[in-house]
């Protein structure tokens, strides 16, 4: 740990996005720093970085934390990524199994399907994905907002 979680997302047409976000869960305590980003899809796995959006510091329960972005994506599959870089409390973030807790109407969230890959040892900015492991864990839920 930290572990790098990714989920696929399909973009149906060229589109611009102005936010990338996560939501804290009901048991978060302390401060949890999360890096968010987008990866290209190559042969159904994450490959190169499209966007490293930077980090958010989650400090309150049941709160959406977003980063302002200016990202255009062409039609196709992408991977939304999250990594917990530092924590001084309980890491409790909304996972894909809790997706109903994420207010789609507020963020116009694009939902990812069930594929999950993790990469251990990610400590700084995102880089080309390597040594990935497929998994069934409930990855951190990441959402994009269309501009």
- Quick one: the chain helix, strand, coil %, rounded to 5? 5, 55, 35
Bridge-partner residues for 24, per DSSP?
A: 93
| Ordered alpha helix ranges (H), 10-132 | 104-107
Q: How confident is the model at residue 16 (pLDDT cuts 50, 70, 90)?
A: very high
Residue with the larger pLDDT of the pair 103 and 17: 17
- Shortest CA distance to 40 belongs to which of 9, 82, 3? 9
Lowest-pLDDT choice from 36-45, 73-82, 122-131, 137-146: 122-131
Would the pTM of this model clear 0.85, i.e. be above it? no
């Amino acid at each position: 740990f930290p572990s790098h979680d990714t989920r696929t997302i399909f973009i149906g047409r060229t589109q611009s996005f102005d936010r990338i976000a996560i939501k804290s869960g009901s048991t978060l305590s302390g401060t949890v720093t999360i890096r968010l980003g987008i990866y290209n899809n190559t042969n159904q796995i994450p490959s190169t970085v499209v966007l490293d959006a930077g980090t958010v510091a989650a400090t309150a329960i049941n709160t959406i934390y977003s980063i302002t972005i200016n990202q255009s994506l062409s039609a196709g599959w992408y991977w939304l990524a999250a990594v917990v870089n530092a924590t001084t409390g309980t890491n409790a973030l909304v996972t894909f199994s809790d997706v109903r807790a994420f207010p789609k109407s507020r963020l116009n969230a694009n939902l990812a399907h069930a594929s999950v890959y993790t990469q251990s040892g990610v400590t700084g900015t995102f880089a080309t994905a390597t040594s990935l492991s497929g998994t069934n864990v409930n990855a951190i839920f990441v959402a994009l907002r269309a501009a």
